[in-house]
């Protein structure tokens, strides 16, 4: 029994060290939610579309694109800014409210970087 207890303590200690070293989840892994799992560098936690104000929503880690196409297919971000396309929204690490320009924009201003 003492051997099992020692192994359990060692495993718990190793898990605590692993969780505290700042390494985030990998692309495709669950993130957010009650566990507050974060994504790694160069990634962000993308929630499903139209879940902007969902408390403790769970998403998936996705890579942040470095380069985006020039095409214009506007999407509305959860920050209520219209982005030129979905790639530009992801570069800004903003979740998607819906396709098309944001409703609150009287004169749509499309954000580009």
Lookup result for tokens 């359990």: 8
Q: Supply 31's token pair.
A: 């993130």
pLDDT digits (tens, 9 = 90+) for 11-54: 333 333 334 344 556 788 889 888 778 898 899 999 999 998 88
- Alpha-carbon distance of 39 to 47, in angstroms, equals 12
Among 42-56, 60-74, 96-110, the range with the most confident prediction by mean pLDDT is 60-74
Domain residue ranges in the chain: 23-46+54-64, 65-113
- Better pLDDT: 77 or 12: 77
CA distances to 6, 7, 45 from 77, in Å = 50, 48, 14
CATH annotation of 65-113: 3.30.60.30
Whether 1 shows a pLDDT value over 70: the answer reads no
- Alpha-carbon distance of 56 to 38, in angstroms, equals 12
């Amino acid at each position: 029994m003492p051997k099992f207890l020692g192994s359990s303590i060692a495993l718990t200690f190793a898990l605590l060290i692993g969780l505290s070293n700042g390494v985030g989840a990998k692309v495709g892994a669950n993130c957010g939610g009650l566990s507050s799992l974060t994504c790694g560098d160069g990634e962000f936690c993308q929630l499903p579309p139209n879940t902007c104000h969902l408390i403790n929503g769970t998403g998936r880690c996705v890579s942040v694109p470095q380069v985006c196409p020039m095409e214009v297919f506007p999407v509305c971000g959860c920050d209520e800014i219209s982005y030129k396309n979905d790639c530009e929204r992801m570069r800004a690490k903003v979740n998607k409210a819906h396709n098309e320009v944001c409703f609150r924009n009287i004169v749509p201003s499309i954000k580009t970087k």
